[in-house]
Every structure is written in structure tokens, then in C-alpha cells.
Amino acid sequence: MSAEEIKAKAEAKAKAVDPKEVTVDIATVEMLKKAAADGCETIFDRALTMKPCNIGEQGTCCKNCAQGPCRLPLTKKQTEGKDDRKGLCGATPETIAARNFARMVAAGAAAHSDHGRGVAEVFLAAARKETHDYGIKDAEKLLEIAPDFGVATTIVVDGEEKERDIYEIAEEVGVKALGQWGQQDGEIYYAKRAPEARYELWKKLDVIPRGIDREIVEIMHRTHMGVDQDYHNIVKQCSRAALADGWAGSMIATDLQDVMFGTPYPIQGEINLGVLKADHVNIIVHGHEPLLSEMIVVASQDPEMLSYAATKGAKGIVLAGMCCTANEILVRHGLPIAGNYLQQELAIVTGAVDAMVVDVQCIMENLANLAMCYHTKVITTNPRAMIESGDTLHIEFDEHNALEDAKKIVKAAIDNYTNRKAMPLIPTAKEKMVVGFSYEAINYHLGGTFRGSYWPLNDNIINGRIRGIGGVVGCNNARTMHDSAHLIVVKELLKNDVIVLTTGCNAMACGKAGLLTPEAAKVYCGPGLAEVCETVGIPPVLHMGSCVDNSRILMAATQVVKAGGLGKDISDLPAAGCAPEWMSEKAISIGQYFVASGVYTLFGVTLPVSGAPRFQKHLFEELEGIYGGKWDLVEDPYEMAHRMIAHIDKKRKALGLDKAKERVLMDMADRQKLDAA
């Protein structure tokens, strides 16, 4: 070998990913080794060779007009007090960072809400019986949400009150729900679901969304060159658009999905790449929308499809999920999950995936390249999301023909089974879990037979067995060790008797680590929380669904407020939220709607605000005085957990719950007194 060759080899080696340094997940370690051996590149490799741009990372690169990009990095000079940075037009770093931040909110809110719009459209088609494939599965939930849209559930005929036809109600709900996107004035319907104090605060601050699309468009307008140049005012619009996401776009998606496909109740499931089977046709549904995947669930169990698979020599069909589509079909059907965001490429690396069916969001373009290394067919299904790279197949999904489309997809996967290039190598790792804790299910489980309310949860918070509530959600991020921060934060919270509500990729990290089982309570929880979980028989980490299902966390928080004894607003609760490994713009929208709903919200990894100190101070400090919730950035997951706990303790103190209390058994009269309080 020449000196040059040796040098090149050493360099390549220095840049090779050491699997144990980038993930705590054993299946991921195994597949990263296989990818390296197969000579296939993944996001983990690219994260090593490409570093983030330091100006963008600070949030201070503006390319909103062609006189830029104007780049305003923070230097030592500014940290010493004098800050005269300006873009060509005079835009301050504050304006630039706030505009960039606002555009992330707009993109995130748009992603969730456009998903919601699709759901509302299918819902309306189902209500009008224009499609045979969808119907009303949970009529009870429909009756529950109808009044929120001002839709009557009964009708008076000849002086007698009668139940209305369920499909008639559904049609009216569908029309009104869909109208929320184009509404120009007034208020979104669900704003009134919030605790009264919160609703009044929003009204006073003038941030109640008028209509979903309008608030998103207004962000794009305000952040155009030369419009809104006051970061306080930009952040106010962020709140409006984000609230339109959390309390409308996402919440409507969750509710109508529940009505069509069933509200989740606790169900068993399995997670990690070990759910794939070498002698089966393996289909992965990846992305976010349950509309199509619900149909693929049906198609993959169709006897005709199963016997077709048998003719190709397969023993059966495994349908597994990836990312939030996985969460959707898991919480409703108990279908297995192959992994979270950073494992999508690695599923293909097993060599066992015959089709990777994608819809929208969080789909890495590199899937198409990797599919060329192996035999996987990547199938796009949504006209919004096509892939130019590689050799992908597009089978467009149409709700009027949904089951037929789904069968076409399953058939394409079966046909591809015989094209496998080598023996698959599937990791053995998989874990059992109990999932599906919608806020209705929590109501039922914790309230149980006594009165079916959040009271028992509140009672246990008041008596101190449970110290508080932690919402831990969000993505994976290739800039930080896969799943590590997720698990550290969650375990630290559990140890300190904080019950955890989870969605998204955090839920999957917890599942893979065995935290979503009732047995985990004894192992990981402080004595108080362990006792509660063991008594009720629930896991200490409650899997509430996908990212749009963060709306379930808003509803759970609202139910806790309404159950009494813990203040009058979400901001009074001993609770905090975090996204330790976030990466998606959707996470920024979620963060903003949690903050505007009164929650202390911490993000890990990075936030593009550090280059604009006054804007950062607005998010990290001043917002608390306005909304009772604020942003924070903490890279160290232990520190993150402890800041959440400190906040929880602060709220407990404000509620007078800091004195260690003996548990008093309350009678009905006491409870009613508390309810009235």
C-alpha cells in the first residue's frame, strides 16, 4: 500500500460510524454493522461527515429575499454587549431568528393540519356513504364530539325527543370540521374545550385561531421581507398558528380518526426490528396517516392475499409500522412496530422488507437509494410525496377505492418476495408493550369503577404518591445518540415519581426499552408511582399515540384541571413537557402550542435561537409571564429531567402540596367539595 492509500484508509476508518457510539438500541447496532459490511450508507454515516452550519444553527441566516442570504452569527464582540448586527434591510438578529422560527411553526402546523384535512375529507365521504371502505366505528365518540361542533345529537319529532341518525350527525360534523380549515373569522370550535381560565386568557391575548389555514398563511405573509419586524408580535402569531394545530388541525385528526377507526384502549403490541420474519412477506407502512394503513391492515389479512403469498413460498404476511403510522395502527390494532425514525433505513438493511409503503412526513429520501442496495420496493402513495431518487413505485391512494388500492400494494409486496437478493438478517430484539392510552382510556383505567374520572389521578398527585405529570414526546435526531436522551429523561422522571405520557418516537424508544409494561413500574419507579401503577395495573409510561395525538395530552391535561384540586388552568398543574431528540418542524409547532397552553416545554439537541439573545429571552423567560408556559433548551437529559421536576415542585408549592401529607381517606362529600373548588 502506498502512503497515500494508507492515509486514505485511516481517514475512512476514522470516519466510520462506531455503532455503539450512535445508538443505545441493540437492533440498531446490529443493523449498522450489517450496513457497513454491505457497503451501504445510512444517515448515521452522513451525520459523521457533514456538520451543521453554525449560522443556521443560531437561527440567524435570512434568505427571505434575494438581497441575502444575510448571515448574522453571534460573535464574541456581541456577547460583550455591543450588538449592531443587521441584514441589508436592517433586520436584526431577533427579527431574522423569529421569522425563521415562525416559518418552522407554519410548516409544522401545516403538516399536521393537512393530515387532518385529509382525515376530515375521508370522514365526510364516509358519512355520505360515498365509500364502502370506511364507516363509523365509534359512534359513542361521535356523539361526544358533536356538541363541540354545535351539532345536535337528538331531534324532536311530534313532541318527542329522538336520537338522530348517526350518519346524519356524522355528515354535519364532517362539514363543520372541514370548515375549520377555511374559516376566516371567529374562533375555532375546540378552543372552548380548554379550561375556562385558559380560554379567557387566549381571548384576552387575542390569540384564539380564526381558522386553520388562515393562521398558517398569515405567518408566511408576516415573515415575508419587510412585514412584521417585532419579534414579540411574530411570536404572538406563532401562538395562533400553533394553537390552530394543537386544538384544531391535530385534535380534529385524532377525533375523526377515532370515530372512523376506533378510540384506542389498552392493547398489547410488540416493537423493534425483531418483529420482521424471514419466511414471511414483510410489509412496512411508514409515515403518518392511518387512512391507507388501516386498509392495508385489512388487505394483509385477506385470505385471498394470504393464499397468494403462499403460492410464492411465503409462510404469511407481516405488516409492521414505522414512525407515526406505526403508532396509529399499533394503538388501534396492536400491530407490531419495526422501529422509530432513525431505524427506517435499517429495516431495509435487514434484507427482509419486501415493500416499504410510505405516505407523508419523516420519510428519508435515502430509503430509495438503500432499496437499490437490497430488493425492497419503496411504494409512494400520496400525491404530495413522491420520490425521484432510486426506483420507486407510485400507487396512489384514493379513499373511494381504498381497499382495492391497498390490495394492489400488498400484491406488489408479495410479488417482490421472490426477488430477495440474499438471506435476510433480522435482529432478534423485540419487546412486548401495552399501549393505547387515549385520554378516554386513562379516564376509564384510573377512574375505574368508582366514577370514571380523572379524580383518582388527581387524588394521587395531591397525596404525593405521584409527584407530577411529564409529557415526553418527539423524534429521533441523528445529531444525538439514538434513543439515549429519551430513555434517560423518562427513567429519571419515573424514579422521581413523575408519571409519563408519551407519543411519537419517544413512545417507541420507551417500548423498545421495556418501559411500556406494567412490570416496568416496580423496576423503574419511585415507591409512590410504583404503588399506583401496580394497584391499577398500568405501565408507568402511557403510550397515547402518534404526533397528532399530542392533542390527547392537551385533553388529558384539561381533564386533570376539570377533575379538581389542582388549580384552574393547565399552567397550574404540576406538569412539564419535553422533546429530548426533536428534529421535525412539527415539533416546533407542538412546542409552541404546549407553551401557549401553559406548559413548561423543554427541547434537547439544539434550538435555532441562540444567535438572537433577546428573542431567546422572550421564549425562555418572558413567555412565562404571558402564558404561564415557556420554552427551554437543555442538552443534558439528566438536567432536563431535573428542570422538569423542579418546575413540578414549584407548581406543587403554589398549590400548597409541598408539605408531605398523610394520605387521608376522603368520603364522597369531601370529593364533591374539591370538585366544586
Distance CA 111, CA 117 (A): 10
E runs forming strands in 120-180: 154-157, 160-163
Does 67 engage in binding with ligand SF4 (CB under 6 A)?
yes
Q: Which of the stretches 65-73, 101-109, 132-140, 552-560 binds ligand SF4 when contact is defined by CB under 6 A? A: 65-73
Compare residues 317 and 337 and give the one whose CB is closer to ligand CUV.
337
By CB under 6 A, name the one of 19, 87, 611, 637 that touches ligand SF4: 87
**Which residues from 462-491 bind ligand CUV, rule CB under 6 A?**
474-475
Count of residues near ligand SF4 by CB under 6 A: 14
In angstroms, give the least distance from the CB of 584 to ligand CUV. 4
In angstroms, give the least distance from the CB of 106 to ligand CUV. 16
Distance CA 91, CA 645 (A): 38
Q: How many CB atoms lie within 10 A of CB 278?
A: 15
Q: Which of the stretches 66-74, 486-494, 585-593, 635-643 binds ligand SF4 when contact is defined by CB under 6 A? A: 66-74
In angstroms, give the least distance from the CB of 320 to ligand CUV. 15
Does 85 engage in binding with ligand CUV (CB under 6 A)?
no
Q: Which residues of 43-61 are buried (b: 16+ CB within 10 A; e: fewer)?
A: bbbebbeeeeeebbbbbbb
Compare residues 99 and 288 and give the one whose CB is closer to ligand CUV.
288
Q: Helix 93-127 and helix 585-596: axis angle, to 10°? A: 90
**Which residues from 523-582 bind ligand CUV, rule CB under 6 A?**
546-547
Compare residues 19 and 504 and give the one whose CB is closer to ligand CUV.
504
Partner from ligand CUV, ligand SF4, none binding residue 246, C-beta < 5-8 Å depending on class: none
Selection from 511, 492, 494 nearest residue 343 by Cα: 511
Contacts of 389 (CB under 8 A, 6+ apart): 365, 366, 368, 369
By CB under 6 A, name the one of 505, 521, 533, 544 that touches ligand CUV: 505
Q: How far apart are the first and last CA of the chain?
A: 81
Residue bearing cell 403554589: 654
**Which residues from 162-221 bind ligand CUV, rule CB under 6 A?**
none
In angstroms, give the least distance from the CB of 357 to ligand SF4. 40
Distance CA 648, CA 645 (A): 5
Cell numbers representing residue 35 in the block: 450496513
Does 102 engage in binding with ligand SF4 (CB under 6 A)?
no
Partner from ligand SF4, ligand CUV, none binding residue 16, C-beta < 5-8 Å depending on class: none
Q: Is residue 485 left, alpha or beta, with left meaning phi > 0 and alpha meaning psi from -120 to 50?
A: alpha
Give φ, ψ of 227 to 5 degrees. Answer: -110, -100
In angstroms, give the least distance from the CB of 325 to ligand CUV. 8
Contact 348, 376 (CB under 8 A): yes
Give φ, ψ of 270 to 5 degrees. Answer: -135, 150
DSSP 146: G
In angstroms, give the least distance from the CB of 642 to ligand CUV. 24
By CB under 6 A, name the one of 99, 117, 198, 288 that touches ligand CUV: 288
Q: What angle do CA 423, 425, 429 make, to 5 degrees?
A: 155
Contact letters (x/-) for ligand CUV, 348-387, by CB under 6 A? --------------x-------------------------
Residues at the contact surface with ligand CUV, assessed by CB under 6 A: 288, 323-324, 340-341, 362, 474-475, 504-505, 546-547, 584, 586
Where on the chain is the footprint of ligand SF4 (CB under 6 A)? 62-65, 67-70, 87-89, 91, 96, 225
